[in-house]
Structure 1
Amino acid sequence: MPKSLEKTRKRISKKKGDITVLHENSRDSQRLRRAQMRDDKLVRVAAARRKNDQPLLQRAAYFQEAIRNNGSLPLGWDAIKTLIHTFVHQYDEEFDALKKERRPGRPPSTREDLLRIKIATDLKEYENGFYLPDLTDVDNVVLLDRWEGAWSYLSTLKWVRISSDGVVHPAKFPPKGQS
């Protein structure tokens, strides 16, 4: 939580005493407004960052669950490809259900549009190189199993890109606009 407003308020109250008697356009009231706007901006930026980080957190949680179901052992390439295929096509049933319940001649709902875009993005990423933790490395599997949902911990993992052809490339975390 940003603290600049509290600090500014404390400084002004030490100097002036009661803050409620400030003139509307005084320097101190302008300082308070700037501090409030700065705090609001920090909250807004943090919320946007969390929203952007959410898909990678969900992806890591999905593969962590797969590792735990496997007994915290590394996976083979066939199992990894199956997991990727399942992850990419996880919204297909919901998309088809929304498509069927829509009356003929009606435009698609917002949820249907979002699912269509999500499915297309995941398929394209899978063709070019799907971004996931390296599930073949024993140390990486242990680290992924210990992960408790923190964003900062994900940078300790090894990440790879696996294309639909089976080509594996090492990758860095976080992906810099590549996924």
Structure 2
Amino acid sequence: MNRTLEKTRKQIVKKKGPLGTVHEGSRDSRRLRKALARDGRLGKLAANRKKQEQPLVDRTSFFQDSIRETGIEAFDEEQFLAAIKSFVHQHDEEMDDLKQARRPGRPASMREDTLKVKIAALEKEFQNGFMVPDLTSKDNVSALEKWDGTWLHLNSLNWVRITNAGALRPAAFPPNKD
């Protein structure tokens, strides 16, 4: 049970006894319904927030894995751009497999359409300025290696926006909703 509903239920049980003795139209049953509705609203808001935050968490974990694989203390510009390009084009192989599996003349599958949109959005973001933890700083790379995978600790990292031309500028975290 959720927190508000549990608290309200405990208070009513303490005062009245088992919940089966509460009348359907009583104040206590209205309190229970109101607590249940509030918990439902809060649950929806939390799920929506988590859904919006997840892409940045996934992106950061991708770069954390690439740091661990390469073992580099700080990336130079070419390595940084190569890591970002590998992130942007990570779905290309799956996209090619889906295209080859599709019979000629058939429309694209939902997964293929989703991947097209995702790849196009990542490429557009890369042209305008790709939001990523700063991998050129040794301190930030070591902090990223120690990152525990939660949204809360992402703001302790330094973030930058880098374009495909290599222009690097500092960025604020969390990013603004555009």
Q: TM-score range, shorter-chain basis?
A: over 0.9
**How far apart are the structure 2 equivalents of 1:105 and 1:46?**
42
In the alignment, structure 1 segments of 5+ residues that lack a partner are none
Is the counterpart of residue 24 in structure 1 residue 55 in structure 2? Answer: no
What SS does structure 2 have at the residue aligned with 1:150? coil
**Shift of residue 121, structure 1, vs aligned partner:** 0.4
Taking the aligned partners of 1:131 and 1:108, their CA distance within structure 2 comes to 30
What TM-score do the two structures reach when normalised by structure 2? 0.94
Q: Distance in 2 between matches of 1:95 and 1:177?
A: 29
Structure-1 residue corresponding to 2:114: 114
1:23-172 pair list within 5 angstroms: 23-172=23-172
| Displacement after TM superposition at 1:29 (Å) | 0.6
Residue 159 of structure 1: how far off its partner (Å):
0.2
The 8 Å contact of residues 72 and 145 in structure 1, kept in 2 or not, is answered as: no
Could you give the per-residue CA deviations for residues 134-153 of structure 1, whole angstroms, max 9, x where no partner exists? 00111111110111111111
Distance 1:69 1:115 in 2: 26
Q: What's the TM-score, normalizing by structure 1? A: 0.93
Rounded to whole Å, the distance in 1 between the matches of 2:142 and 2:97 is 38
Deviation at 1:108, TM superposition (A): 1.4
Instruction: Quote how far apart the aligned CAs of 1:72 are.
Output: 4.9
Residue 8 of structure 1 corresponds to which residue in structure 2? 8
SS at structure 1 position matched to 2:73: coil
- Between the aligned residues of both structures, percent identity stands at 51
Q: Distance in 2 between matches of 1:17 and 1:97?
A: 62
Aligned length: 178
CA distance in 1, matches of 2:172, 2:131: 10
Distance 1:176 1:2, change over 3 A: farther
Q: Over residues 66-116 of structure 1, what are the superposed CA-to-partner deviations in whole Å (9 max), with x where a residue is unaligned?
A: 222232501100000011111111111111211222123322111111100
- Report the CA distance shift for 1:98/1:92 in structure 2 as closer, same or farther (over 3 A): same
Further displaced range: 100-109 or 26-35: 100-109
Letter in 2 for 1:138: K
